[in-house]
Structure 1
Amino acid sequence: MNTGRGKEEGFTLIELVMVIVILGILAAFALPRFADLGGDARAATLQGAIGSVKSAAGIAHSACLARSSCDESSAGQTVSLEGTSVDMNGGYPAAAAGGIDVAAQIQDDFVLGTASGTTIQISADDGSGSALTDCNFTYDESDGTVDPTSVTTSGC
């Protein structure tokens, strides 16, 4: 008659501790990859704003061309987009407040810099109403474009 203990099943305390240690090490290496997703999100938002600006410039320019009273060669024109007045210069939304920011509907989330000739720098908002440095792009009202070389996302 065999009176010994039967075969025990389950994990020992050492095995459980080792699994927890291994999971901790894996988490320590994986955490930095996911820790700063805010910068990536701001960079993606900036890319979305660039698309909005390009589309809005094209739509506003088309609206100007469709109106006989809109003179492409002069400043101070306005067009109405969805009931909102957009300031125009040379047939494209102006590189100033009330122009491209209103046309692209980005005035609440982005900060307009000081206009320089026909261009203006548009920066991501840092959350307090100030511009993030090195998280911006430049809009040119002379042809309604965004220069791809002007896009900076390193500071997002």
Structure 2
Amino acid sequence: MNSKTIQKKQVRPTAGQGFTLVELVVVVTIISILGAFALPKFAALQADARMAKMQSAVGSMKAAAAMAHATLVTRGHSGSFTGTPDPAIVIEGVSVTYVNGYPNAASIVALAGLAEDYVITGLTAPRVVAADSKHTGSSSANDCTVSYIAPAAANTQPSYTVNATIDNCT
């Protein structure tokens, strides 16, 4: 009888097996191309987020101004009252000072709850809040800020200006 002998070929792992230089260059090139497309989109998302943050600040200020005005009127004061009522009107721990029936700029920031999430110091008037410390509106251009101007006359409403665009919120 014939018996077949099976010989096994031993395969030994060689030290230092890894990627070839060509494979590494291809991977680095692909990552670079993806990064070139993703980076500008990421930068634009930051500007969009700052713009949305400033729109949110305006909404908060409008709601706070309407609430303070309504509180003033329901407490029996004139809708064009200026000053601090006696007794003082305190809303959410804030003693409100009025100008023509609406909160002044100092009161509106506290009423709207903007002090913690926005920059409120170092701004040039009439700007009241900025998105962050890099966008304070201190330059001559409007720089990703929101302005609040109390009414200049009786029976008028405050004005709000959102100085937030893609260009100045980047």
Identity %: 36
Q: When you count strand as a share of all residues, which structure comes out higher? A: 1
Aligned match for 1:127, one of 125, 129, 133: 133
**Partner in structure 2 of residue 155 of structure 1:** 168
**Partner in structure 1 of residue 13 of structure 2:** none
Question: How many residues get paired?
Answer: 138
Residue 91 (structure 1) aligned with residue 101 (structure 2): yes
Cα deviation for residue 16 of structure 1 reads 4.0
> RMSD in angstroms over aligned alpha carbons?
3.3
Following the alignment from structure 1 to structure 2, what is the Cα–Cα distance between the partners of residues 114 and 76? 23
- Give a deviation string over 1:14-66, Cα, whole Å, max 9, x none: 88447513243222222222146443332221111011001101111111111
**Partner in structure 1 of residue 4 of structure 2:** none
Following the alignment from structure 2 to structure 1, what is the Cα–Cα distance between the partners of residues 54 and 128? 9
Note if contact 1:132-1:155 (Cα within 8 Å) is conserved in structure 2.
Answer: no
Following the alignment from structure 2 to structure 1, what is the Cα–Cα distance between the partners of residues 78 and 115? 26
Q: Could you list the runs of 5+ residues in structure 2 that have no partner in the other structure? A: 1-18, 152-156
Q: After the TM superposition, which residues 1-156 of structure 1 pair with which residues of structure 2 at under 5 Å, given as runs?
A: 13=20, 16-17=23-24, 19-20=26-27, 21-35=29-43, 37-68=45-76, 70-77=77-84, 78-95=88-105, 97=106, 99-108=107-116, 109-111=118-120, 113=123, 120-124=126-130, 126-127=132-133, 131-133=136-138, 134-142=143-151, 143-146=157-160, 150-153=161-164, 154-156=167-169
Note if contact 1:64-1:79 (Cα within 8 Å) is conserved in structure 2.
Answer: yes
Following the alignment from structure 1 to structure 2, what is the Cα–Cα distance between the partners of residues 32 and 114? 31
Following the alignment from structure 1 to structure 2, what is the Cα–Cα distance between the partners of residues 111 and 83? 19
Following the alignment from structure 2 to structure 1, what is the Cα–Cα distance between the partners of residues 129 and 35? 35
Structure ranking higher on relative contact order (CA contacts 8 Å, 6+ apart): 2
TM-score calculated relative to the size of structure 1? 0.68
- Give a deviation string over 1:55-89, Cα, whole Å, max 9, x none: 10111111111101x33333113521123211112
From the CA coordinates, give the structure whose radius of gyration is larger.
2
Q: 1:75 to 1:29 in 2, by over 3 A?
A: same
Runs of 4+ in 1 over 6 A off after TM superposition: none
Following the alignment from structure 1 to structure 2, what is the Cα–Cα distance between the partners of residues 144 and 14? 66
Q: Could you say what secondary structure the match of 2:89 adopts?
A: strand
